[in-house]
Amino acid sequence: MLLDVTTALAGLGLFFLGARTLGDALKRLAGRRVRVAVARSTDGPLKAAGMGLVMAAVTQSTQVATFILAGMIRAALIRAERAMMVMTGVNVGVCGLLFVATFDVRIVVYAVIGLSGIAMTRARFAPWRDQFSALFGAGLLLFGLGLLRQGTVPIAGLDIVTGTMAAISGHDILVFLAAALLILAVQSSSAVGMIGISLAGAGLFGPEQAIALAFGANFGTALNMALLTRSMTGRARQLAMFQVLVNLVGTAVTLPLLLAESAGLTGFGPIGAIAALTGDAGRSVAWAFLLFNLIGAGLSGLLLPWIAPVLARIWPVTRVEADAQPAFLEDGMLRDPAGALDLAILEQRRLVAHLAHLSAIAADPGDPAAGRVAMAQRVDGLLTLHGRIAEVLRDLGAADISAAAYERLARAVANHQRLDGVIHGFAELAGTLIDRLTDPGVMGRVSRGMLDGIDAVVMTLAEVAQSADADERMLLRAMTGDRAETMGRIRSSYLAAEEALTPADRGRLLLATNLCERLFWMLGSLVEGLEAEFKAGSEDGVVLPLPEAS
């Protein structure tokens, strides 16, 4: 039993690690061509549902499909509404697998993990590292779910479980509830379905109880999905709750019909419909799964234009998620390279303005653990937007543009590299000091002093990026112009505090001092680069303040 528990725990860990690895890789792969390809393959309800059937055949799990699609949503590869339509196909496709011998995906999963893992460590495959990382993450996701099932499925074979199911076989509602609870324990609707087939084969379950078990397993899947995805936010959470809703809609329709037919209140319902298809109690389980999901997925798909806005209101897009989406970029913009360059530079300024959010978190992190989470989420969002801008700048490098435009492009690329260094540098510095900011002693005082100095520059820089105001630009140049004096103050604060610190804090403060010095130099370099762009833009008359909404 201990081995089963630890196996399930390992599976859960690998499941979430795979989801994170896959999501990060998809963000790096979220280029314009990939977005266009995904959009074309899901640009209609039938195409989207067809893609869901393919995903069902590969993953054999609505859980895995949900996490994969959530990663695609975060990477801006697919819109939430289209991902929801894909999930309708996944639900039906997974049920269809119960009619055939389930393909053992372990061979494929092991091969994917092994080959992609090897490729990720070889220099010759470096150009395709992100692709192999996505495959590796998907493999871990499937492998983790397999271990989770391997550790929990033995629960279904316990005498107490089969005995309980046999004892309640005369009560449809109890069979329904028991199946739902069993899903939470074994994490596998197919395992619960096999229990029903086994009990039906032994003559302990009739078609009616087999159908109740299948309906209960689907309801339990909804509860399980809600628990697994409770940490999701924004559009990813909307997708997860749509999947929950598919099962709740199926339950709301099929369970009353089943109970009414069992009580003799109606002459025809799920029992009669499935009896017309098969007289075998075991195969009734498979037909019940399919009937349930055809109803749940079908109705949810038809009502999607009304469901999606409701989900968006209940689980709205977070501010971090909204800021990570470009305001000035679109896939067709490269048809006008000169205009695309102007828009890319505006988007770059918008990204610089969002550095103020990092500074605000560092200035008042609250609980250190919560501050770390907030900082990580903000950095992730900024880097997502940074990647979208970098993609446009790369594509513009191959476009037919004038010599003057090419000079602007070169400045924008250089500024973008500096901006990447500032984002990572600020995050690293804040991560080093965030635990000690509330320290009333010397360490806390010096840490706050460092971040306050950086905060003043970052907030002014964000204001300049937003407004392009000449007076603010002059102030910013003055703040970053005399770097030697600033660096001298930073080093002096370290030396003054060194004697009063423990060895551990002394080492941390030395690291923070070096990080602070490096970050300040990068900020100064970014300020110089932006000022060069402002001056060149003012000559062309294109320096404008960003919209307030950005």
CATH code, 532: 1.20.58.220
| 136/184 Cα distance (integer angstroms) | 27
44 with 182, same domain: the answer is yes
pLDDT tens column, 412-422: 999 999 999 99
238 φ/ψ angles, rounded to the nearest 5 degrees: -60, -40
Query: Does residue 193 sit within a domain?
Result: yes
**Is 39's pLDDT higher than 50?**
yes
Stronger pLDDT, 484 or 360, i.e. the higher one: 360
| 147/8 Cα distance (integer angstroms) | 6
Check: CB of residue 116 under 8 Å from CB of residue 78. no
How many of the other CB atoms lie within 10 Å of CB of 506?
16
Q: What is the mean pLDDT of residues 482-497?
A: 63
Give the model's pLDDT for residue 439: 74
**Is 358's pLDDT higher than 70?**
yes
Query: Does residue 322 sit within a domain?
Result: no
Q: What is the mean pLDDT of residues 187-212?
A: 70
305 with 403, same domain: the answer is no
Written as six digits, the tokens of 491 are 């080093």
Number of domains in the chain: 2
305 with 401, same domain: the answer is no
pLDDT tens column, 257-314: 988 888 778 777 888 888 888 777 667 777 888 889 899 999 999 999 999 999 999 9
Pick the last residue of a domain from 280, 314, 348: 314
Structural domain of 242: 2-314
| 14/6 Cα distance (integer angstroms) | 12
pLDDT tens column, 94-136: 776 566 544 566 788 888 899 998 988 888 888 888 888 888 9
Query: Does residue 548 sit within a domain?
Result: no
**Is 530's pLDDT higher than 90?**
no
Query: Does residue 231 sit within a domain?
Result: yes
Stronger pLDDT, 348 or 72, i.e. the higher one: 348
Query: Does residue 17 sit within a domain?
Result: yes
Out of 7-21, 94-108, 114-128, 177-191, pick the least confident: 94-108
**Is 399's pLDDT higher than 60?**
yes
Query: Does residue 549 sit within a domain?
Result: no
| 389/344 Cα distance (integer angstroms) | 6
Those residues with Cβ within 8 angstroms of residue 338's Cβ, 6 or more apart along the chain or in another chain: 401, 402, 405
C-alpha pair distances (Å), 9 with each of 54, 109, 148, 518: 29, 19, 7, 42
| 276/493 Cα distance (integer angstroms) | 84
Helix (H, G, I), strand (E, B) or coil at 303: coil
Give the model's pLDDT for residue 34: 64
Out of 204-213, 336-345, 479-488, pick the least confident: 479-488
Q: Residue 175: CA atoms inside 13 Å, Cβ hemisphere, count?
A: 31
59 with 140, same domain: the answer is yes
Give the model's pLDDT for residue 424: 92
243 with 370, same domain: the answer is no
CA-based nearest residue to 88, from 299, 312, 306, 309: 299
346 with 278, same domain: the answer is no
C-alpha pair distances (Å), 98 with each of 167, 213, 225, 492, 545: 25, 14, 20, 71, 59
178 with 120, same domain: the answer is yes
Query: Does residue 88 sit within a domain?
Result: yes
Highest mean pLDDT among 7-11, 25-29, 289-293: 289-293
545 pLDDT band, cuts 50/70/90, is: low
Give the model's pLDDT for residue 357: 86
Query: Does residue 179 sit within a domain?
Result: yes
CA-based nearest residue to 62, from 87, 83, 34, 29: 87
Give the model's pLDDT for residue 101: 41
Q: What is the mean pLDDT of residues 69-76?
A: 81
Radius of gyration of the chain (CA): 28
Check: CB of residue 344 under 8 Å from CB of residue 397. no
Query: Left (φ > 0), alpha (ψ -120 to 50) or beta: where does 138 sit?
Result: alpha
300 with 341, same domain: the answer is no
Q: What is the mean pLDDT of residues 17-31?
A: 74
10 with 138, same domain: the answer is yes
Pick the last residue of a domain from 287, 314, 341: 314
Pick the last residue of a domain from 314, 347, 366: 314
120 with 227, same domain: the answer is yes
298 with 389, same domain: the answer is no
Out of 65-74, 245-254, 505-514, pick the least confident: 505-514
| 426/291 Cα distance (integer angstroms) | 54
27 with 162, same domain: the answer is yes
